[in-house]
Amino acid sequence: MRRVAARGIYVETRVAAPVERVWALTQDPDQHVRWDVRFTRIVPTTPTGTGATRFTYTRRVPLRTVAGDGVSIGEQVRPDGTRTSALRFATTDRLSPIRSGRGYWRYVPDGDGTRFVTGYDYVPGWGPVLDRAARPLLGWATAWSFDRLRIWAERDEEPERWPLRSVLWFWRPERPRAARCRRAPVHGRRRDDHLRDAPATLADLPAPERTR
Q: Which domains does the chain have, with CATH numbers?
A: 9-204 (3.30.530.20)
State pTM to two decimals: 0.93
- pLDDT on residue 4: 45
pLDDT value at residue 135: 94
Distance CA 201, CA 84 (A): 9
Q: What is the structure's pLDDT at 211?
A: 60
pLDDT per residue as tens digits for the range 36-88:
999 999 999 998 888 899 999 999 988 889 999 999 999 877 888 899 999 99
3-state secondary structure the chain: CCCCCCCCEEEEEEECCCHHHHHHHHHCHHHHHHHCCCCCEEEEEEECCCCCEEEEEEEEECCEEEEEEEEEEEECCCCCCCEEEEEEEECCCCCCCEEEEEEEEEEEEECCEEEEEEEEEEEECCHHHHHHHHHHHHHHHHHHHHHHHHHHHHHCCCHHHCCHHHHHCCCCCCCCCHHHCECCCCCCCCCCCCCCCCCHHHHHCCCCCCCC
Pairing status of strand 53-61 against strand 9-15: unpaired
Query: Cα–Cα–Cα angle for 171, 175, 178, nearest 5°?
Result: 120
In terms of Cβ atoms closer than 10 Å to its own Cβ (0-12, 13-18, 19+), residue 158 is exposed
Which amino acid type is present at position 46?
T
* Rounded Cα distance, 41 and 32, in Å: 9
CA neighbours closer than 13 Å in the CB half-sphere of residue 27 = 21
Chain centre distance of CA 109: 19
Say what the pLDDT of residue 212 is.
Answer: 56
The residue type of 131 is D
What's residue 190's pLDDT? Answer: 83
- pLDDT averaged per 10 residues, the chain (length 212): 62 97 96 97 92 94 91 86 95 94 96 96 95 95 98 98 97 98 89 86 87 58
